[in-house]
Structure 1
């Protein structure tokens, strides 16, 4: 068979990169290759339209196998990840009932968010009744002031159950910088607390107790290289501090867990997880953590360095940042591609957020769908049967290296201050805020698309009555703390457009936008569709038409329809005649006249008194905000 393949390939002569470029240059007909086909990413590097074998020559990870240092491809040979679902515990018995139900439906990892006021051995036993810690990954979180108490309770419970603790996986999540990131409140004794958490959880060798919450950066709008670079510095700050306090390097590394968000930049997210494992492995390896004494390990380097310590443990959550309020079922499409990125990128566990989380406490249906999205990837797409299918892809391998280089630059820059000092100086928060604002601007200008929000909205959808108070994930422990530092500003990318539509709904008046279509058939149809999508983003009622033989008939129809906005849709050449005529006919009425497009005669039309033009270079959000001001 192999000989037949070799003969087959000889029938196709090799084509050089130069020959490809000659054909592409010819097809571009003089257009600039760099401007037309090269993608300038937000991560700070360019992506070419095609890659070839020569682009990955000499890359070490190409010959790296899954489970081998530096773990670019995976920290394990099989791509089996935990399907995680989180539970906000208010009533311990009810939470236990829900947990058992989730386990029956395919969940293999549970995350319990516990209240701080009634932690006890009895309540913990009630919560875990019927749950086998050797079969399910268990993760616990509570108020930072009570995390050590929770850790002692979990350790006491597990060690009293006659279990094989090497088969018990999970975490008790202490995040030393969460209060800074979320509330701007410093925790100056974080090093001592971190050391205490490591000591408390030492009897549980497979339990992580220190969380690096890069997902908070993701939810605040950070680009992938920022989430990765800052998270690595975050982890290194913890690792270095623990070692300085006398904690064994291998133990310290094995107690750190990374939490990342997953955005919708499909291939970039796959590359992010591959680069994360690679860079973290190199960071940990630089400390030369020795294997614990009296332990035989087949993953020890020749110099005695513990390679297992360099394995990054990753929990991924689909992003809150790009969840939309309107057309919420689109959130399922986003989270599905995000789940694919995470699982192809070989994360250890994954949480898919329910599609309705942006406007209500998730329903049982939404939570079930969120679980099923992962089960589809496992049971029907068989993603768990293939480890790192991206390996060898010229594009993804190159993307992994490029992203790793950018993240490493940021890591080194942050390390000059130290992550903790960078947080106190606001360096991290300012960098993420700048990226977030750039993304909000991109959405406002439709350079970044949110389907159902700033492009192709559901014209007749209403959401105001469906919004309920969102769940409160805070524990209240910081309510009396004085805010001294900058917190991250966590918003959803759709919020500005959501506000426009909600304002329209709540005003009690739905402005009518009338498409005065006339002239060139192709242009009037294209511009009518563009304008309909444009104004529907603010929740206006769209009145489209098949076309009018004269401007006079179009204006009369608009007035009969009670239009608030009249949009002239025609070709650039015809605007010279049609636009002034329509404007003059509407003069003195309540209607706002708009020209769809940016014709060459725009200056002449403006001189005639026409003010409003919408086109592909318009800031959609600012334009609609101005219309809301006039119409509502």
Structure 2
């Protein structure tokens, strides 16, 4: 062993270049290597041009945005912290570099229970309260009592009262007035007339909401009147660009109403907070929030605020991110903790000003103390232990994120301008233009879910038929009548519910017999695949050789083995199964064989396969 000289620690440092001595890598070299791999899989041939290699690995989002396999400096976008186009915003001094408001939602209809839960949250890390009022939550008349011990100048209160917005706003402002104007109350009154139209089909009073904004500006400077809630478009199955474009169109409509009511443009901008959905696709969430700021910066620039013409300070969109409702599942709800953690991470990295993590038992009913604790501690962990609040725009400079942000902003701007050209947001909602476009997106997403191209852990993949769901009190149902509310797992859950009801009525789950051929090493992979697929619909599986079918008590069978054994044994196995009474014989894999009725394989329509199987098994709808 050679010992370094004694003066090595004090010698001048030389620049350390990890790539020194290696030739510069060219993109075509990478393409050539990738092409070699794709040739082995059959996805490419020797004649495939190098220029087409990346396209073979590129997928597109529901907005048509390409997601490539490789990003380089050529994909970067000029964006610096604190400067236009505001995708990398720095929080005001005193709020920390990137700290966000931990906002918990409360919708318990019992005022006493809600009051207790709110105080417990505020004592344990929550920094603001989001209240659902009216038929979907707390009685408006109970607002003052519920907020009795809440310090309104420290913990902002956000109202969500739907058709009761005017009544709830008056109650809240009266409470603030009684406590004394010297206490600068903070909050958002939640006026969202167009969001109400999206939810219920009946718009709110835009002029009254604008008048409320004037009142807040003149008398209650710490309170905003408007919320642009974009989650109805997400909850209906819409894409990220559709959510953003609708939000911008709604925000512009509110700006027009407020300036018509007498506010300056700058004052009008200050009266709006935006609400977006954060999903388990962390990069999409990060890019969506960054793109939203870019879009609103452009609106402000057109209005004469941001940009070279502006003499005032910059206008920055205030964002509230809430974890997605459609991504939550009723079955295996514990996985929702993982989904909301990733979504919260994406919201934080994307720069949200306030974040709400919905409890994991959202789909089961009213959350209990444990699920609320997990929800708020998810944020505390990311804030304190993961130190996400110590960095400005952690994703900034990522070529992929910068490119995705720009592409998403462009797609959203096109949707916004289309809405404007077709009569603006109110008309686009009333005419069905928005609903039609979002419905088309939902159908594409729904097909991907059915084919398990968009897998749902614990539901469409790796279901647990022995799980025991926690019991929760029923939650009030939100008003409907407008855009639908969808859940990504709904088709699989409907099938699972049918089987659960059948098991409760008969004492036994419907089942499918997995007829395995050859040694265990040969059939295990496809038998596991088949079991996973059928169990996703709530159907139990029994495994054995074809001759064991009659004793299994099943009516449907699925042959599982390798393609090589199928060629020699599939037809005989199918005949044996049919003679033993099988009403349908599936085969795990592809190909046509005598006696086999249909096949299941990766990418097949699992939902339709399960519906067919339940009909064969006589399971009631």
State the TM-score, normalizing by the size of structure 2.
Answer: 0.88
Q: Partners of 1:2 and 1:441 in 2: how far apart?
A: 62
Contact 2:511-2:542 within 8 A present in 1 as well: yes
1:95 equivalenced with 2:114 (yes/no): yes
1:44 counterpart SS class: coil
TM superposition shift of 1:466: 4.8
Are positions 1:25 and 2:35 aligned together?
Answer: yes
- 1:599: Cα distance to partner? 3.8
CA-CA distance at 1:2 after TM superposition = 11
Partner of 2:6: none
Matching residue of 1:449: 455
Cα distance in structure 1, aligned partners of 2:413 and 2:310: 26
CA–CA separation in structure 1 for the residues paired with 2:441 and 2:188 = 31
Question: Measured at CA, do residues 159 and 81 of structure 1 come closer, stay the same or move farther in structure 2, by a change above 3 Å?
Answer: same
For the residue of structure 1 that corresponds to 2:249, the secondary structure is: helix
Counterparts of 2:12 and 2:317, CA distance in 1:
38
Mean CA deviation greater in 174-183 or 590-599: 590-599
**Equivalent in 333, 342, 347 of residue 337 of structure 1:** 342
**Cα gap change, 1:128 to 1:558, in 2 (>3 Å):** same
Which of the residues 446, 457, 466 maps onto 1:460?
466
2:498 is matched with 503
Task: State the secondary structure of the residue aligned to 2:231.
Answer: helix
SS at match of 1:60: coil
1:356 aligns with 2:374: no
Residue matched to 2:5:
none
How many residues get paired? 586
Q: CA deviation at 1:152?
A: 3.5
Please state how far the C-alpha of 1:125 moved relative to its aligned partner: 4.3
1:38 CA drift (Å): 1.2
Matches within 5 A, 1:155-304: 155-162=173-180, 168-187=185-204, 190-202=205-217, 203-289=219-305, 303-304=309-310
* 2:78 aligned with 1:73: no
RMSD over aligned Cα atoms:
2.5
Q: 1:155–1:201: 8 Å Cα contact kept in structure 2?
A: no
Give the alignment partner of residue 581 of structure 2, picking from 572, 584, 590.
Answer: 590
Contact 1:359 1:466 in 2 (8 A): yes
Q: Is the 8 A contact 1:99 1:110 kept in 2?
A: yes
Q: Does the CA contact (< 8 Å) of 2:238 and 2:438 recur in 1?
A: yes
Contact 1:148 1:196 in 2 (8 A): no
Distance 1:286 1:410 in 2: 17
Q: Distance in 1 between matches of 2:518 and 2:230?
A: 54
Match of 2:381 in 1: 376
Residue 55 (str. 1) matches residue 75 (str. 2): yes
When residues 7 and 325 of structure 1 are mapped into structure 2, their CA distance, relative to the original with a 3 A threshold, is closer
Q: Distance in 2 between matches of 1:506 and 1:256?
A: 47
Aligned-pair CA distance for 1:379: 1.6
Question: Is residue 46 of structure 1 aligned with residue 46 of structure 2?
Answer: no
The 8 Å contact of residues 225 and 271 in structure 2, kept in 1 or not, is answered as yes
Could you tell me how far 1:518 is from its partner in structure 2? 1.7
Map 1:473-484 onto structure 2 (within 5 A): 473-474=478-479
Return the offset for 1:3: 6.1
**Residue 570 (structure 1) shift:** 1.4
Aligned mates of 2:63, 2:12 — CA distance in 1 = 41
Question: Does the CA-based 8 Å contact 1:168-1:206 persist in structure 2?
Answer: yes
2:141 is aligned with 1:150: no
Q: After superposition, where does 1:375-394 map in structure 2 within 5 Å?
A: 375-394=380-399
Look up the match of 1:297. none
Query: Is this contact kept in 1: 2:583–2:616, CA < 8 A?
Result: no
Deviation at 1:60, TM superposition (A): 2.5
What stretches of structure 1 of length at least 5 have no aligned partner?
290-299, 546-553
SS of match in other structure, 1:259: strand
Unaligned runs of 5+ in 2: 1-10
Cα distance between partner residues in 2 of 1:162 and 1:424: 42
Does the C-alpha gap of structure 1 residues 73 and 510 become closer, same or farther in structure 2, counting only changes over 3 Å? same
Matched, 1:580 2:571: yes
TM-score of the aligned structures, taking structure 1 as reference length: 0.87
Residue of structure 2 in register with 1:530 after alignment: 529
SS at match of 1:544: strand
